[in-house]
Amino acid sequence: MKLPQPGRFFRRRSRTAVRVEPSRLTARDTLAEAFAGVLQRPARSALTALGTVLGVGTFVAVLGLTATTSSQIDSRFNLLTATEVTVEDIAQERNEFAGPGFPADADARVEGLGGVRHAGVYYSVRLDAAAGGVRAAPVGGAAGAGERADVVAASPGALRAAVPRLSQGRLYDEYHSGTKQRVALLGSSIAARLGITTLDTRPAVFIGDEPFTVIGIIQDVERKAELLLSVVVPRTTAEDIWGPHEGAGTTMLIATDVGAAQQVAGLAPTALRPDHPEYLKAVPPPDPRTLRTGVTSDLEQLFLILAGICLVIGAVGIANTTLVAVLERTGEIGLRRALGARGRHITTQFLAESGALGTLGGLVGTSLGTLTVVGVAVIRDWTPVVHPATVVTAPLLGMVTGLLAGLYPAWRAARIQPAEALRR
C-alpha cells in the first residue's frame, strides 16, 4: 500500500472540510424570545410595566386635559374676562387739587355707549375705627369675633355688572339709590358670621351706629368675588352718611358685549370726563390667547414633571426586573453561548424583553390616559381634545423607556462567559 506523500492528506481534507456558518438571530426569533421571557412570569411582568403604565398614562392625560381645558378657558374668557372693563379714578395722581374723578351720573354716561350692558361705580367705605364695625344688633362686638367687615358702596349698575346670584331677597335698584335708602346686601360669608339666615324677620345690620335693612343675601357672583365677604350699600346712601369718597380706590365696573371691550375701554374716559379724560384710567381685558398660553404652559410644566417622575420609576422597575432575570437565567445564557450564541445576540434578546415591557406599558398607559381625558370631559360636560400625535408618541415613549432601562442588564448578560455560567 502506497502511503500518501506528506501534506497530500491534509490538502485533500482541507478541500472537503465543511464550513461552519456563524450563528444568527433573526428578528422573528428575537421577538419570540422576548415575549416568551415576558409571559414566563406574567405577574412580575405586569408589576414591572406598572411604572411605565402610570408614566405614559399621566403623559397622555396631562396633554389631553391641558388641550381640553384650554378650549374651555377660551369660552370662559369670552363670556367673562373678555367682556369686563374697569375704569380707575386717578384724578388725585394727576392733580392733587382735583375732586372725584367720576361724575354723579357716571352710570348713565357709560351705559349710553354702544356695546355696554351694565356699568356702575363702587368703592370700599373707610370707617372710623371707633365706629364699632358691622353688627347685627344695636350694641355688641363687631362681626367675626372682633374682625371688621368690609363695607362696599356700589351703584345699582355695578351690582348688575357683577352678575350676582341671590339666595334670598332682591337687589336694590335706582329707586333705593335715588332716594338714598338705608338698605344693604350681605355676602353669604358675612351673613353667616352675623347669624342672619333668613329675611322673613326683616333683619337689620348696624354699620357703626347707622342701621341698614337687609334686603338680600348674595350667594355667588360671576365678577368681584370679594362682594361675598362684604356688606354692600347704595353709593348715594354712603355719600350721604360718610361724605363723598375722594382719592384712589373708586372704580367703575363695566360689562360689555363680546368684542366690544376694547372699544368701550377707549371711549369710557372721554364719556365720563370730556374735560379731563386723563383723570380716569381704563383697563381693558387681557388677550385671552396670551392668558390661555400662560395657563396652558404652567399646567403642562407642572404635570409633565409628574409624568417624568412616573416614567423614571417605571424605568427603574424595568431595569431591576431585567437585571434579576439576567441573574436567574445565568445558566440559560451560558448554554446559549456554548451552543454558538454571540454576545450581541444575548444583548438583543434582553433589550427586546425590556422594550416589549415598555411598549406594553405604553399601550396600556395610552389607553388609560385617553379614557381619563374622555371621562373627565363627560363629567364636566366638556368636549374632549386629544391630539393624534400624543396618542402615537406615547407608546413609542414607553418603548424608549424600556430600551433605556434594559441597556445595563443586557450589557451585563452579554459579558457572561459560557464556562463560568455553566459552573453555577
pLDDT tens column, 70-91: 666 655 555 666 788 999 988 8
Q: Residue 207: left (phi > 0), alpha (psi -120 to 50), or beta? A: beta
E-strand spans in 235-378? 251-256, 280-283
Cell of 24: 444568527
| Whole-number Å distance between alpha carbons of 2 and 12 | 16
Give SS3 for 258: coil
| pLDDT for res 143 | 45
CB-CB contact of 82 with 258 (8 Å): yes
Name the residue ranges covered by the structural domains of the chain: 27-75+290-423, 99-275
| pLDDT for res 184 | 95
Dump pLDDT digits (tens) for 353-392: 788 888 888 888 889 889 988 898 888 887 888 888 888 8
Cell of 153: 358702596
Strands 150-154 and 230-234: parallel
Q: Could you tell me which of 410, 394, 398, 417 has the C-alpha nearest to residue 319?
A: 410
| pLDDT for res 24 | 66
Amino acid residing at 341 = A
Dump pLDDT digits (tens) for 161-198: 999 999 999 999 999 999 999 999 999 888 888 888 88
Q: Which residue has the higher pLDDT, 13 or 185?
A: 185
pLDDT surpassing 80 at residue 133: no
Read off the pLDDT of each residue in 95-119 and give the average, rounded to a whole number: 86
Q: Which residue has the higher pLDDT, 414 or 8?
A: 414
Looking at the chain, the number of H-run helices and the number of E-run strands are 16, 11
CB-CB contact of 175 with 237 (8 Å): no
| Whole-number Å distance between alpha carbons of 97 and 113 | 29
**Cβ burial, residue 235 (10 Å; 0-12/13-18/19+):** buried
Q: How far is CA 355 from CA 15, 134, 156, 398, in A?
A: 46, 69, 67, 8
- Give me the phi and psi of 304, to 5 degrees please: -70, -30
Q: Which residue has the higher pLDDT, 381 or 45?
A: 381
| Whole-number Å distance between alpha carbons of 172 and 336 | 89
Q: Could you tell me which of 96, 58, 102, 108 has the C-alpha nearest to residue 401?
A: 58
CB-CB contact of 143 with 149 (8 Å): yes
Amino acid residing at 418 = P
Strands 183-187 and 251-256: unpaired
Dump pLDDT digits (tens) for 299-317: 667 666 776 776 677 677 6
